[in-house]
Amino acid sequence: KQEVTQIPAALSVPEGENLVLNCSFTDSAIYNLQWFRQDPGKGLTSLLLIQSSQREQTSGRLNASLDKSSGRSTLYIAASQPGDSATYLCAAPFSGGYNKLIFGAGTRLAVHP
């Protein structure tokens, strides 16, 4: 069964801390992996997309890595800020599913001043 799992479900950190969010997937035959941010009551904002041939992508203070062989992706947030507080979701299209995204349940992040 094709599944995406995110750990931890929730995380609370003080401002300025570097942190890592984890995403694991059951099938290495993914075409890419996309990280999203969702603010309460809002839609999903695409943060980073890593193609299956890539190892990592960076955007500002965000760095996402992908290790297909181990079925893992991480989202690294440097120098966290209160404005980073949101739910972070990872999702991937698996082989045989065209571009249908399978989502994890998300990690709810709170960065406190």
What 3-state DSSP class applies to 4? strand
Q: Residue 72's CB: how many other CB atoms inside 10 A?
A: 15
Helix and strand tally (H, E) in the chain?
0, 11
Q: Which is nearer to another protein, 9 or 78 (CB)?
A: 9
Of 26, 42, 55, 110, which lies in the binding site for another protein, with binding defined by CB under 8 A?
A: 42
Q: Binding to another protein by residue 32, rule CB under 8 A?
A: yes
Number of residues lying near another protein (CB under 8 A): 25
Q: Cβ distance 82 to 111 under 8 Å? A: yes
* Contact set with another protein (CB under 8 A): 4, 31-32, 34, 36, 42-46, 49, 51, 89, 91, 93, 97-106
